[in-house]
Amino acid sequence: MARAGGQGAAQISKALARIKGGAWGASRANVMTRLIIERLTGEPVESVKSPAMDRGYELEDDTCLAYEMRKGVFATRVGLAPSDDRMAHASPDRFIDDGGILELN
């Protein structure tokens, strides 16, 4: 999978987190462990999903349509947007025709 082994934009704050005194936070070790596992196996580590997250995915298209109508813009669904070296990525929900990004979930 394209996402496996790459640092996602949504997790960057965890990868760079520091605690009082400047030492790296525990979340950094968790992110690094996940990246190592994914790079060795080539498979993504599954993350926890909640019923609220599932509901958000179910409502995404309707929410996007409401946003488009209210703002008078057109939003294009986006897949994965990898960096050139494929070591990092972002996955915004939509690109807006005026150059913006739309996150719905």
pLDDT in tens, 50-90: 998 889 889 999 999 999 999 999 999 988 777 787 777 77
pLDDT score, position 81: 77
16 is in which domain, residue-wise? 1-47
84 and 59 both lie in a single domain:
yes
Domains contained in the chain, number:
2
| Tokens 């897949």, located at residue | 79
* 47: pLDDT strictly greater than 70: yes
The confidence score (pLDDT) of residue 84 equals 84
Residues 2, 40: one domain?
A: yes
Whether 33 and 70 map to the same domain: the answer is no
Residue 30, both tokens: 């968790």
| CB neighbour list of residue 91: distance below 8 Å, 6 or more residues apart | 3, 8, 9, 10, 78, 79, 80, 81
What's the mean per-residue pLDDT of the chain?
Answer: 84
Question: Is 1 a residue whose pLDDT tops 60?
Answer: no
Q: Is the pLDDT of residue 3 over 70?
A: no
- Residues 37, 78 share a domain: no
- Tally Cβ neighbours within 10 Å of residue 59: 13
Beta-strand runs (E) in 1-105: 7-8, 75-77, 81-82, 88-90, 94-96, 101-102
Share of the chain above pLDDT 70, in %: 95
